Structure 1
Amino acid sequence: MTPKFDSTKFRLLEIVDKSASSIDVAFGDPFILYDKPSDQYYLYGTGGTENGFIAYSSKDLIQWKEVGKVYDGRQPKGWGTKDFWAPEVYLVNDKYYMYYSAHWKENPEDKLENYRIGVAVADNPAGPFLDLTGKPLFDPGYPIIDANVFRDTDGKNYLFYSRCCYEHPVASEIADWAKSKWGYKDIEESWVYGVELDSSMQQVIGRPALLIRPPLKMNDKQSEWESRSVSSGEINRRWTEGSFLLKAKGQYYIMYSANYFAGANYAVGYATSTSPLGSYSKSETNPIIQKNTDHGGVISGTGHNSIFKDRNGKLRCVYHGRTTKTGDKRMVFIRDIRFNKDNQLQIESE
């Protein structure tokens, strides 16, 4: 039988207008750094080159200029072989730290998804970013992607990441239904974890904590939107990835993406906690970024967002999406964010 997901329980937030305005950059997993020393914005993301990353710069968040390749995985201490994804860059003590995902060359079991997270350092936001150790930041024993780093007001540092779906089957009511409906052998899942970093921002402290995972029960309020790729028969995986942590209104907001990253149902929700490492409660307003093609719009595949402050200190959200005009290209969108009277995180439409 079809899962009894009640869509009326979910509030749809139309986060983009039907004209599908975006900046003219084709990137996945976008991240923007406002660099105060140069008074410029730098945009990093997945795509545009092989074996590394390129970047764009802008003075006004509207006109962007490619600055070239800022990280090359073929450098002497490079440890990745392919699939260079989701870079994020932070300025700390006059150094620029880039955290990114790649396929680790040390792969004795010949895993198809042997992803880990690395860190490279530069003196300039335009690079070149250089790996320091010739190996990933750490090895939790399973493939991981989508690094996000958070520096708290108490001086502590944290790394958030997603465990890949690969070889991670999970039992649930949704999995039972999908296996019966579509004949899947298993339903694999990715989960978001967090772990503390030391002051060097290159070593983890303690064991990672599980923070966000897909719902287990059909009647969970989050099940409908987080299970769309599975319930539609698109694929046998449920993702929780692309996390980003924000501290505001006396609490912590962790944003995350769910569903197939290459499909129309990719969407963003968030959860809140009183501590960086949880526990987290998902928002009843989820998803806050999603496709609008069901309502006359032209955007789908919206996800993997990050948040930045512009030069005036205003919080902005950047994410990728596909439009009917651009096809499979992932284009970059920038929107304002705000908090309502109940401190719920919302994405402003144009």
Structure 2
Amino acid sequence: MSRASIAPAHPGYFADPFVLRSGDRYYAYGTGLDGQQEPGGLAFEVLSSPDLRTWVSHGGSLVPVTDEPRAYWAPEVAERGGSFYMYYSVGIEDKGHHLRVAVSASPLGPFVDQGLNLTPDEPFAIDPHPFQDDDGAWYLYYARDDLTGERPGTVLAAQRLDDMTRLVGPPVPVLGASSEWQRYQRDRSMYGRVYDWHTLEGPFVVKRQGTYHLFYSGGAWTNETYGVGHAVADHPLGPWREPQEGPVVLASGLGGLRGPGHNSVVRDGQGQDHLVFHAWNALGTQRELHIEPLVWTSDGTPQLALG
């Protein structure tokens, strides 16, 4: 029998979670701390665990880029050559976000920003996700605003990542909105006009049995419309196709979850995949960390193992 409800893996606010496995430990990073609570404070809380079940907080992990108030969103960390690279966005509240990279010798930080705006030509870019292919090439997936499609809003793009600190070539389109469930808000004022705004964000890619699988979040992160969809491709840059329409991986109501989304995937030492995501608590006052085993159906669709 499936569980009636899914409990959070750690108390407290922990949005947009990402988990890195490094050595025999796991490290979770999330949106929450902005480093401005106290002088010299660090942004992005980092947790560690030996088993994906028991987590300990180590406080903030990123040295803020400025003393001025800023919003720090959605960190992900890649390990290469003994260094750890943190990708994230910085903006003023929900405006003007750009992607940046910081480096540390430890997964616990402190991560130091490298002074690089990775997306200087974008009016808005969030949710960076670094992915390494089997041939060693790195790619960075992210969400950006695009007003040219039939459903204007936030879409997904990707670029080659060179030396972990530079994006190569123009953004390659990955996915745009194609369905009503991806609607963020009707009559939203953006860029001097009013749009029926749609949102795709939080991209995350894994390769399983020769196929590239893209997880993404759609809808409005603020409410029950939020969920996780799934697309597949034969190359990291696509073309991507969605075998099934809808939030087929996560949706409100599953295991009692409310507005689940912005996921990552981590594989444990036994080869088991786990879905890492956030969902609202019952009072709707904070987004909490969830980690659940992930299984793949016979047709290649990822699902939570709730039995």
**Is the 1:157–1:201 contact (alpha carbons within 8 Å) kept by the matching residues of 2?**
yes
What are the Cα deviations for residues 200-239 of structure 1, in whole angstroms up to 9, with x where unaligned?
1111111111110001xxxxxxx243237559xxx94211
Task: Give the whole-Å Cα distance in 1 for the aligned partners of 2:272 and 2:143.
Answer: 28
SS at match of 1:190: strand
Structure number with greater Rg is: 1
Cα distance in 2, alignment partners of residues 156 and 204 from structure 1: 12
Normalising by the residue count of structure 2, what TM-score does the alignment of the two structures yield? 0.87
Give the number of aligned pairs. Answer: 292
Q: CA deviation at 1:24?
A: 2.1
The structure carrying a bigger strand percent of its residues is 2
Assess if the C-alpha contact under 8 Å between 1:307 and 1:318 holds in 2. Answer: yes
CA distance in 1 between partners of 2:185 and 2:4 (Å) = 23
Runs (4+) of structure 1 exceeding 6 A deviation are none
Task: Write the distance in 2 (CA, Å) between the matches of 1:89 and 1:150.
Answer: 10
Q: The residue matched to 2:181 in structure 1 has which SS?
A: helix
| Alpha-carbon separation, structure 2, partners of 1:301 and 1:67 | 27
- Per-residue Cα deviation, 1:244-297 (whole angstroms, up to 9, x for no partner): 01111211111110011111111000111111111110131631201007xxx6
Give the aligned CA root-mean-square deviation in angstroms.
2.5
SS in structure 1 of the partner of residue 87 of structure 2 = strand
Extract unaligned runs of 5+ from structure 1.
Answer: 1-15, 105-110, 176-187, 216-222
Pair 1:49–1:83, CA change in 2 (3 A): closer
More helix by percentage: 1
Instruction: Name the counterpart of 1:40.
Output: 25
Q: Return the offset for 1:47.
A: 0.4
Q: Does 1:193 pair with 2:154?
A: no
SS at the partner of 1:281?
A: coil
Q: Which residue of 1 aligns with 2:133?
A: 152
Aligned positions of 1:292-311 closer than 5 A: 292=253, 298-311=256-269
Partner of 2:177: 214
Shift of 1:17: 3.5
1:152 & 1:171 partners in 2: Cα distance? 29
Aligned to 2:165: 202
User: Secondary structure, in 3 states, of the residue corresponding to 1:114?
Assistant: strand
Q: Could you tell me whether the CA contact under 8 Å between 1:27 and 1:47 is conserved in 2?
A: yes
In structure 1, C-alpha distance between the alignment counterparts of 2:268 and 2:45, rounded to whole Å: 21
1:68 Cα deviation after fit? 1.4
**Given that residues 101 and 116 in structure 2 are in contact (C-alpha distance below 8 angstroms), is that contact kept between their aligned partners in structure 1?**
no
Structure with the larger RCO, 1 or 2 (CA within 8 Å, 6+ apart): 1
Question: For the structure 1 residues 317 and 170, does the alpha-carbon distance in structure 2 shift closer, same or farther, using more than 3 Å as the test?
Answer: same
Amino acid at match of 1:311: G
- Matched with 1:317 is 275
Q: Does the C-alpha gap of structure 1 residues 112 and 27 become closer, same or farther in structure 2, counting only changes over 3 Å? A: closer
TM norm structure 1: 0.77
C-alpha separation in 2, matches of 1:203 and 1:292: 40
1:330 to 2:297 alignment: no
Q: 2:142: which partner in 1? A: 161
Identity of aligned residues (%): 31
CA distance in 2, matches of 1:92, 1:99: 13
User: Conserved in 1, the CA contact under 8 Å of 2:34 and 2:71?
Assistant: no
- Unaligned 5+ runs, structure 2: 37-42, 188-194
2-side partners of 1:207 and 1:334: how far apart?
Answer: 34
Match of 1:272 in 2: 232
Q: Which moved more, 1:301-310 or 1:135-144?
A: 135-144
- 1:61 deviates by 1.6
The 3 A distance-change label for structure 1 pair 56 and 238 is: same
